[in-house]
Amino acid sequence: MFTRRRMLAGATALGGAALLPGIAHAKGSVTAAIYPGTWEDAYRAIVMPALKKTYDVDLELQPLFAVDEVAKAKAARGAPPFDCFVLDPGPRITAIEAGLFEKFDGKKLSNASKVPSAFIDEWGICVGAQVVGIAYNPKKLPRPKGWKDLLTDPWVSRLGITGFQTTFGTVSLIEIAKQFGGSETNIDPALVELKKVLSKIAAVGQPAAMPGLFQQGQCDVMYTNTQTVATLKGKGVDIDFVKPDTGAVAFYTTLHIAKGSDAIENAYKYFDTVVSTPVQEALTKAPYNFLPANKDVPIPPDLPMKSLDEMSTYVLHDWAKINPLRAGWIEKFNKEMAK
Amino acid sequence: MGRRRSFSDIGYSFVIGGLALLALVIIVTPVVVVLAMSFGEGQSLKFPPTGFTFRWYAELFDASQSRQIHRAVGNSLEVAALSTLFGVLLGALGALGLSRSRSKAARLGESLFMSPLVLPGIAFGLAALMYFTFIGLRPSLGLIVAGHMIVTVPFILRTTGASLSQLDPALNDSSQSLGAAWLYTLRRVTLPLIAPGIAAGAFLAFMSSIDNVPVSLFLSTARTDMLPIRMWGMMESSLDVRIAAISGVLIAAAFVLMLLMEWTVGLTRRMRD
Amino acid sequence: MTTLTAKLRDWQLALPLALAFAALFLAPLLLLLGVTFFNDDRMTQPGLAQWAKFFGDPFNYKVIADTLLLGVKTVAATLIVGYPLALVFVDLSPRWQRVLLFVIVMPLLLSVVVRTFAWIVVLGHEGLVNTLLLRLGVITEPLKLLQTELGLVISLTQIEMPLMLLPLISVMSRLEPNLRDAAAALGASRWRTLFTVILPLSMPGLVAGCLLVFASSTTAFISQTVIGGVRLIYLPLVIWQQSLVVFNWPLAAVASMALLVSILTVIAALSWLGRRASGAVHG
């Protein structure tokens, strides 16, 4: 039986210990945001030990989605909760506009020469690419050829869509719009066409819910990236990736240093380790299946590209144009799709 | 005794019993689904599951395969325990104070103390991070505890307040007019009577802290990884079966805890008399 | 016997909580309020543009109304099945009460992440309900339950049930069991006893439960979007989009304030009703 005094004493002791703020940045460490799932698993398994071995720097990873990273850094202005970002093009531009990055100097990396020159700019370094296309359940549906098929039977009544909240959703809706006369800056045709078949569409979902909806047969065709398809397929889900006839969309994933970080030198060491040849080689292998960001690394045969030059054959979007329009698109999507 | 049951009384039993049964079905079905999936042999969350295995529980308890989950569980438990503890201390006292005061200020206070429950978590998380940074604090476990306490203390206030409002004010008055010291009245008369309310509130607060996503999202750091955030990532990226196993463990733990409590404190007995 | 010192003492009991709230809740809330008075998402020009934008759009009124209505429907559903369960609970022997209490709190032990997945399993196109009804021949085509408000309310009922039942049970089990016997002895039917004796006396717990359920269901972002889908638009979704996707914090803050104020209004009304009801009980 607790006496009150003992409880109070215990509370003070526990509380006192916990309320001391964690000592930020012990010497020789760097904190990096990382996407949950495959990215985190891979970086924990491969980059973390490599960084420790090469530079004796401890890597701490915080799993966060791109938009959450930007929101946290913006809210904690000047005192970033982590030293390094990992971002998609949309959030990357938002972060640049909000002044959340330190300037980046590619020359500081010992492995800079091994990275394609287009992969390094004044804000950061590209360490991977994601490819977006159509995923479907081959046991239930015939293979769709392209984006246009999604809006016709038999696919449309099994289709699950998401809005403009995510990068993959945005680029997919842009591609659908293009099939009906739209463009990178005009998505209205996609909304018009979707609205015509809205009553048939199986699910209009939250992006995070899509794998679950797909697995349980609520929808059998959706748009997503190759990595999600690879992961789910590896877990025994009936899912196949289709490169649409008008091309799959690719976008880069980039690393950046947070403004106000007090571990900038270690951040460079982290980036250098990520793009080093052995690390990149390990990352391209199963179960991680990353596209390499290092010219010395051969691309394994089961990846959707044969070489990095092939990136140019993919559909690329100009996020500087898309970003300012996105808020309006989200509102429009809400209104058009609302019941 | 022995009164002949009328037609309407039979109807009563039928309707009330039927609705209560429906409530039970709604409560239990998802739990059964999750437990069934946690023993499935498939590589991903799936229903109906195929086969039967303890593999996911084994993986979950394996330190090398689930180290990150263990860290997150530790953090989440620590935060929930501390925030509930502070919440009970402040909340039960607060409910006492509010229930006795009939002033306008007390009514205003009452709605103020409820508002964390209705301010969307994302908005509070965002505002809290901006505010803490503004006053020069960096996210830490202590700040998460503070944030969780604020969003969970309304549960304690409400359930305690409900018990208190049932308390006959005459009871206190007579105890005090009989010359009992105020503290004595509180300890011997009031507290035992409102204990069930406090216990219910503390349980709600603890569980809602364990399951809080938005506040943790903003206030956590790489060192203070929280369980629901990690589970969310596992769900979205890979439909990891271990997230069902985590719930299985939680249910088993609560079951054991309940038995222990029955044994030592007799929670239900107190709830009854 | 209430002296001035006693009054002061009562008030002081709430003081630590009030101080904690001032430092940890009111201050961030004021900051949030301050954010609403900026026109642009980079927060450089002060102004009322975001207020005008939010309240100038009729769509947002529909969203607010839908959000509150969702809360009302969930409260109603939870009450209709939850109150009978509480009635059954108080009639049970202590041993069975223990078992039932454990069952009642079970939803809280399922993390929201896996709970929403379970509801996809139950309500989905190929889910449990549809499979069962198809097998029984009640329906020939799968019902659309997931991504409808009906499905959402059903799933919210589950998670909100403990919030309704715990306050209700803690109040109801303190009611004098003799009361009901007395009513029965006086010839009142069980229905009459329920509505004229038990219901009024359990009012404090009922109101507390309704408040918690209303507040929690109107802000349940994850359930709303995962089970309801994004064609059902409630304010938390708007707030999430504005704060975490397009980073228009002034607009997100305005939407948060709108949600806060509209829910608090409903809660204040409910509290007032509850106070009147319990006032009537104690004279």
Establish if A314 belongs to a structural domain. Answer: no
The DSSP secondary structure of C146-197, one letter per residue, reads TTSHHHHHHHHHHHHHHHHHHHHHHHHTTS-HHHHHHHHHTT--HHHHIIII
Give CA–CA dist A23/C221, Å, rounded. 34
- Cβ contacts of A67 on chain C, cutoff 8 Å: 244-245
Residue to mutate among A334, A335, A336, A337, with most C CBs inside 10 A, is A334
Q: Are residues A223 and A290 in the same domain?
A: no
Query: Which of B100-104, C12-16, C210-214 holds the top average pLDDT?
Result: C210-214
Mean pLDDT of A133-147: 95
Which residue on chain A is closest to B50 by alpha carbon? A236
Q: Is residue B99 part of a domain?
A: yes
Q: Are residues A204 and A330 in the same domain?
A: yes
Report the residue from B114, B120, B247 with minimal CB separation from C221: B120
Task: Dump pLDDT digits (tens) for C112-122.
Answer: 888 999 999 99
| Domain at B125, CATH number | 1.10.3720.10
Q: Residue C242: pLDDT band by 50, 70, 90 thresholds?
A: very high
Is A13 within a domain?
no
Residues of chain B with C-beta less than 8 angstroms from the C-beta of C131: none
- The answer for residues whose C-beta is within 8 angstroms of residue A333's C-beta and 6 or more apart is A163, A164, A191
Residue spans of alpha helices (H) in chain A: 4-19, 38-42, 48-55, 66-75, 89-97, 167-179, 188-196, 210-215, 226-234, 264-275, 277-284, 319-337
Model pLDDT for residues C157-187, shown as the tens digit of each residue: 999 999 999 889 888 887 777 777 787 778 7
Chain B interface mutation, best of A62, A67, A266, highest count of B Cβ atoms under 10 Å: A62
Tokens 């990055």 belong to which residue? A101
Tens digits of residue pLDDT in A291-307? 888 888 887 776 666 66
Residues of C in contact with B124 (CB under 8 A): 25, 28
Residue C112: give its domain's CATH number: 1.10.3720.10
Q: What percent of chain B has pLDDT over 70?
A: 88
Residues 66-95, chain B: which have Cβ within 8 Å of A?
Answer: 68, 78, 81-82, 85-86, 89
Q: Name the residue among B8, B45, B168 with its Cβ closest to that of C191.
A: B8
- The answer to whether residue B217 is domain-embedded is yes
Q: Is the pLDDT of residue A130 over 60?
A: yes
pLDDT at A311 over 50: yes
A313 falls in which pLDDT band (50, 70, 90)?
confident
Inter-chain CB proximity B235 and A211 less than 8 Å = yes
- Does residue A123 share a domain with residue A34? yes
Position A16 scores a pLDDT of: 40
Average pLDDT on A193-201 reads: 93
Query: Is the residue at A301 inside a domain?
Result: yes
Strand (E) or helix (H) holding B109: helix B104-118
What are the pLDDT digits (tens) for A45-68?
A: 999 999 999 999 999 999 999 999
Taking the Cβ of residue A281 and every Cβ of chain C, the question of whether any pair is shorter than 8 Å is answered with: no
- Does the beta-carbon distance from C245 to A67 stay under 8 Å? yes
The C-alpha of A327 sits at a distance from chain C's nearest C-alpha, in angstroms, of 6
- Average pLDDT value for residue range A192-209: 92
Higher pLDDT, A207 or A86: A86
Residue B192 with chain A: CB contacts under 8 Å:
none
- pLDDT band per the 50, 70, 90 thresholds, residue A17: very low
Chains with 3 or more CB pairs closer than 8 angstroms to A? B, C
For B22, counting Cβ atoms within 10 Å of its Cβ (0-12 exposed, 13-18 middle, 19+ buried), the class is middle
Model pLDDT for residues B20-51, shown as the tens digit of each residue: 999 999 999 999 999 999 999 988 888 888 88
pLDDT of the residue at B269: 52
Q: How many domains does chain A have?
A: 2
Number of domains in chain B: 1
- Residues in A closer than 8 angstroms to B78, CB to CB, are 18
Supply the range of the domain harboring residue B109.
66-272
Q: What is the pLDDT at residue A306?
A: 64
pLDDT at res. C25 = 94
Per CB-CB distance under 8 Å, the chain C contacts of B111 are 264, 267-268, 271
The helix (H) or strand (E) run that includes residue B115 is: helix B104-118
Task: Using CB atoms, pick whichever of C16, C80, C260 lies closest to residue B19.
Answer: C80
Which of A87-101, B163-177, C34-48, C219-233 is predicted least confidently? Answer: B163-177
Q: What is the pLDDT of residue B9?
A: 81
- Per the structure, the complete domain to which residue A164 belongs is given by 131-249+319-337
Whether residue A211 lies within 8 A of chain B, CB to CB, comes out as yes
Question: Tens digits of per-residue pLDDT, C184-211?
Answer: 778 778 888 888 888 888 888 898 899 8
Whether A101 and A206 share a structural domain: no
**Could C244 and A71 be called an inter-chain contact, meaning their C-beta atoms sit closer than 8 Å?**
yes
Tokens read off for C69: 């209505």
Q: Do B129 and A75 touch (CB under 8 A)?
A: yes
Quick one: A195 and A326 in the same domain? yes
Q: Which domain holds residue C191?
A: 48-282
**Which band of pLDDT confidence, cut at 50, 70 and 90, is reported for residue A13?**
very low
- Collect all residues of chain A within an 8 Å Cβ-Cβ radius of residue B129: 72, 75-76
Q: Which chains touch C (3 or more CB pairs under 8 A)?
A: A, B
Contact assignment for B254 to C102 by CB distance below 8 Å: yes
Residues A203, A158, single domain; the answer is yes
Residue-wise pLDDT for B103-146, tens only, equals 777 777 777 888 898 888 888 998 999 899 888 888 889 999 99
- Average model confidence (pLDDT) for chain B? 85
Residues A168, A88: Cα–Cα separation, whole Å: 10
The CATH number of residue A38's host domain is: 3.40.190.10
pLDDT digits (tens, 9 = 90+) for B201-244: 998 899 999 999 989 988 988 888 899 989 988 888 888 899 99
Using CA coordinates, name the residue in chain B closest to C35.
Answer: B127
Express as a percent the part of chain A with pLDDT over 90: 66
Label residue C280 by pLDDT band (50, 70, 90).
Answer: low
pLDDT over 80 at C283, yes or no: no
Residue A110 domain flag: yes
| Cβ-based contacts of B211 with chain C (< 8 Å) | 108, 111-112
Domain count of the fold of chain C: 1
Give me chain C's average pLDDT, please. Answer: 88
Residues 30-69 of C with CB under 8 A from B: 31-32, 35
Nearest 5°: phi and psi at A250? -125, 145
What ipTM score was computed for the predicted complex, to two decimals? 0.88
A91 with A81, same domain: the answer is yes
Residue A19 scores a pLDDT above 60 = no
Considering only the beta carbons, identify the residue of A7, A21, A236 that sits closest to B142.
Answer: A21
User: Across the A/B interface, how many CB contacts are shorter than 8 Å?
Assistant: 127
C156 CB-near residues (< 8 Å, 6+ apart): C70, C74, C77, C78, C217, C220, C223
